[in-house]
Amino acid sequence: MAEKILDRFKLDGKTALVTGGGQGIGQAYCFALGEAGAKIAVVDINTTVAEETAQALTKKGIEAIAITTDVTKEDEVIKMVKTVIDKWGFLTIGVNNAGMGVWRDALTQDFAEWRKILSLNLDSIFLCSRTEAVEMAKKGYGKIVNTASMSAHISNTPQNQAAYNSSKAGVLHLTRSLAAEWAPKNIRVNSISPGYTKTALVDKLLETPEGKTMLPKWLEKVPMGRMATVEDLQGAVVYLASPASDYATGTDIIIDGGYCCW
C-alpha cells in the first residue's frame, strides 16, 4: 500500500458536473470537488448564479464553466453532457443535485404541482444519470452522486410534504437500481441524504410566519441541536466522487445530525 490515504481523495485530472450548482448545497459541492482537483461544470437553470459560481471558482484557480440547463428536459440534459465532452473530452463525475420542495397537504395538492416535484426531483435524476453513464461507459469509469434526503427515510413533521418525500424515496431506490445495473461498467452510483440544511433559500422560507413555527420543532428532533451547514456535506461528496470510495456503490450517506436516529 504505497499510496497515502489522502491521495485517494484527490480528483486531479477528473471532470465533474453539478446540477443545481449555482447556489446552496450544489454550490458547496462545486467548491469541494474543485478544491479536490476536479474541473467543474456548474449547471443551473438560472444562468446568472451558474456564471457567478463559475467565476468564483475560476478566481480560486479552479477550471470551471457554466451551463444553463433545465434538467427536466431530455434534450437539454443531452446538450449539457455534450458541452462537458466538447470542452474536456470526458466526464468522470456527475452530481445530480437539482431539486425542489413544497409544503402541501396531500388532500389539497394540485396534481400538476405533484408532477412538477416528481419531474424535477426524480425524473431528472434518471435523465441525468443515464446521459452521464453513456459517456462514462465509453471510458470504463465513472462516479454518479445523487442528492436524496433524510425525507427518503422518514416522514417529516410537522410539515406535510408527501410529494417531496415520495420523490426522494424514489431517488434512493433508483440509485440502488442503477448501481447494480452499471457496476459491470465500472460506474458507481451513490447518494447523499442531507437533513435540514441552512441555505439562503431555507433561510427565506424560515422567515415566513409558517416557517418561524417550524424551526424550533425541527431542532428539538435533531440530536445535535442545529441545522447542517453546506460545509457539513462537502466531505461526503468528495468521498463518493473519489477513488477512496471505489468499492462503494448503491449506498446512501445520511447527514442529518442524528434526526433519523429517533
pLDDT of residue 198: 96
- Cell, residue 188: 458507481
pLDDT of residue 130: 99
167-212 pLDDT per residue, tens: 999 999 999 999 999 999 999 999 999 999 999 889 988 999 888 8
Distances (CA, A) of 11 to 4, 35, 56: 14, 9, 19
Q: How far is CA 101 from the centre of its chain?
A: 14
Q: Where are the beta strands (DSSP E) in 174-239?
A: 187-194, 197-198, 228-229
Low pLDDT (below 50) residues in the chain: none
Contact 171, 146 (CB under 8 A): yes
Contact 68, 47 (CB under 8 A): yes
d(CA 97, CA 71): 10
- Give the strand pairing for 197-198 and 187-194: unpaired
Placement of cell 489522502 in the chain = 6
pLDDT of residue 210: 86
Which residues have a catalytic role annotated?
149, 164, 168
Placement of cell 420543532 in the chain = 217
pLDDT of residue 205: 85
Which amino acid, 116?
A: K
pLDDT of residue 259: 98
pLDDT of residue 2: 62
235-256 pLDDT per residue, tens: 999 999 999 999 999 999 999 9
| Nearby residues of 147 by Cβ (< 8 Å), 6 or more positions away | 20, 25, 95, 96, 97, 99, 171, 191, 192, 194
CB count in 10 Å sphere of residue 146: 28
Cis, peptide link before residue 209, omega less than 30° from 0: no
pLDDT of residue 262: 86
Specify the CATH architecture of the domain 5-198+230-251.
3-Layer(aba) Sandwich (3.40)
Q: How far is CA 46 from the centre of its chain?
A: 16
Secondary structure (DSSP) of 104-158: B-TTT--HHHHHHHHIIIIIHHHHHHHHHHHHHHHHT-EEEEEE--GGGTS--SS
In 177-203, which positions are buried (b, 16+ CB within 10 angstroms) versus exposed (e)?
A: ebbeebeeeebbbbbbbbbbbebeebe
Give the three-class secondary structure for 16. strand
